[in-house]
Amino acid sequence: MNWDDENAVFKVVVNHEEQYSIWPAYKEKIPGGWREAGKQGSKAECLSYIETHWTDMRPLSLRKAMDGAGPNASAPALSS
């Protein structure tokens, strides 16, 4: 398969960190840690889907940590 073939069909896949990628549709098995995102089409269509849905490049765990909701976030300080 040629990744630059305009007739190739791809699937959009996403991992647990909400990072997106494309995967050839003819390959039945998706790599471990990834799941289908619900979009299939040409490479351009899939990349367009990713562009509109993956708007924050930070991994989910980093976004949660920076928002104070991560696993190592401390409880808010109580005022006296």
What CATH number is attached to the domain comprising 39? 3.90.820.10
Q: Is the pLDDT of residue 75 over 90?
A: no
Q: Tell which wins on pLDDT, 55 or 20.
A: 20
Q: How far apart are CA 60 and CA 12, in angstroms?
A: 18
Q: Is the pLDDT of residue 70 over 60?
A: no
Residue 32 contacts by C-beta under 8 Å, 6 or more apart in sequence?
none
Distances (CA, A) of 2 to 6, 17, 71: 9, 28, 41
Q: Is the pLDDT of residue 80 over 90?
A: no
Pairing mode of beta strands 20-24, 10-15: antiparallel
Residue 36 contacts by C-beta under 8 Å, 6 or more apart in sequence?
11, 12, 13, 14, 30
In a domain, 21, yes or no: yes
Residue 28: the pLDDT is 87
In a domain, 73, yes or no: no
Task: Look at the chain and report how many structural domains it folds into.
Answer: 1
Q: What is the pLDDT of residues 4-50, one digit of tens each?
A: 888 899 999 999 999 999 999 999 899 999 999 999 999 999 999 99
In a domain, 49, yes or no: yes
> Range of 36's domain?
9-57
Residue 68: the pLDDT is 79
